[in-house]
Amino acid sequence: MKKILIITGCALLFLLCSCSAVLTSEPSKKGANDPVVIDSDADESDDSGDSDDSGEVHDYNDLDEEDDADGGADDADDADDATSTVYISSAVIGSDGNIYIGEKVGYTGSSTIHKLMRYNTASKTMEDVESFTGGYVKNLCHTGGMVYFSVNDAIMCYDIASSAISLFYKADSGINAFTVLSTIIVINEGSYSEILSVVDRSQKRKLSTLLINESTDQLLCAEASGVTTVYLVSSDYNCLYKTTVNLTDYTIAAAVHSPLNTANETNSPIILTKDQSGVLTKNGKIFNTSDLIYSSSLTSEYNDILYDDNKFYTVTKDKIIVYSADNYALLKQVDLAGCGLKILKSGDVFYVIRGTTDSTPAFLDIVSYNTSDLM
């Protein structure tokens, strides 16, 4: 049975602190009150049958004094909180089964604090993990019990078991997107003269770079014997690109691009098809991995996509749509009564992060579905 999980204001407050902790490479324990300050000169750029969804929904911005996490704050803090708007940059399921969320905050108060948050799937509450000033918390990915994310030109690492957070790698310029693989990290960094960098994951040193002059907010990597193929969607030209990294000498091949340039391909995950012969993009278009030629499409564009049990689960501006991973046939549609921002799965439960229906959706709430609800 479908459940509505309400995230109230008491679980998502932004605490303004009188002092700031300076970021170092030494890990700090969860629970520190001061936001971590990320110093950088890099420019920051910014993202078949139907069933109905119903239930009480609390807008994130509907805050009052009794909603404060500390049991009540002064009027000035309440005024600042009431004018904040939260946008979700990315989200990932951790090894503990909880949802880790990066926040991009539009804030009209005297300070701007962005947070790494955790949605506890057992207690159904939102919890602070760490606060940052000076850059958005984005590009979340999870591997080996670690949640990696970027803030400006820094890749941070949160150890789920120990709750320690540390600086993992500092790039030469602002990070647009990155992916953590088994032995390397692939990074798209810079502005105006963007480069693709390959970094040794264990030694944390740069191995090679390629000037591509293409900014991206999505990187997809496919590891194979001796080579890693990197797919990216250009934020400048809305075009799908690919290159390869030789895992022997770490040379990066010249990037090639799809002959089809289409609008609105950015800002949503790209994913490989079941047999890895195609790449799916935001518009629902499918391109051959061999030559990036357009081959097919889904019935609708999506904001997020998840592969599970031979199906693709997508969320759109108002629906969950389920497709067969074999022939892309539409199997199920579920109304969301809001904009679907992210879809994730923990155990047998699907979680959809919903947003408002504005042109730039703000965070609204989280909705859960049992697997049977989407069959």
Structural tokens at position 349: 């439960």
In a domain, 9, yes or no: no
Condensed to tens digits (0 to 9), the pLDDT of residues 248-259 reads 999 999 998 888
CATH number at residue 258: 2.40.10.480
Predicted confidence band at 217 (pLDDT cuts at 50, 70, 90)?
confident
In a domain, 246, yes or no: yes
Locus of tokens 């749509």: 321
In a domain, 300, yes or no: no
CA distance 54 to 316: 17
Region of poorest pLDDT, from 15-19, 38-42, 45-49, 95-99: 15-19
Structural tokens at position 146: 């670690």
Condensed to tens digits (0 to 9), the pLDDT of residues 139-156 reads 999 999 999 999 999 999
Tell me the average pLDDT across 315-344.
Answer: 96
The pTM for the full model equals 0.80
In a domain, 227, yes or no: yes
Backbone angles phi, psi at 79, to 5 degrees: -65, -40
Say how many Å lie between the first and final Cα of the chain, rounded: 12
CA distance 351 to 4: 10
Structural tokens at position 285: 């278009």
C-beta separation of 14 from 65 below 8 A: no
Half-sphere exposure of 194 (CA within 13 A, CB side): 23
Indicate left, alpha or beta for 348 from its phi (over 0: left) and psi (-120 to 50: alpha): alpha
In a domain, 74, yes or no: no
Percent of the chain's residues with pLDDT above 90: 58
In a domain, 215, yes or no: yes
**Pairing relationship of beta strands 164-170 and 28-29 according to DSSP bridges:** antiparallel
C-beta separation of 149 from 138 below 8 A: yes
In a domain, 92, yes or no: no
- Structural domain boundaries, residue 251: 171-267
Give the residue from 183, 291, 292 showing the smallest Cα distance to 233.
292
Q: How many domains does the chain have?
A: 1
In a domain, 192, yes or no: yes
Condensed to tens digits (0 to 9), the pLDDT of residues 318-328 reads 999 999 999 99
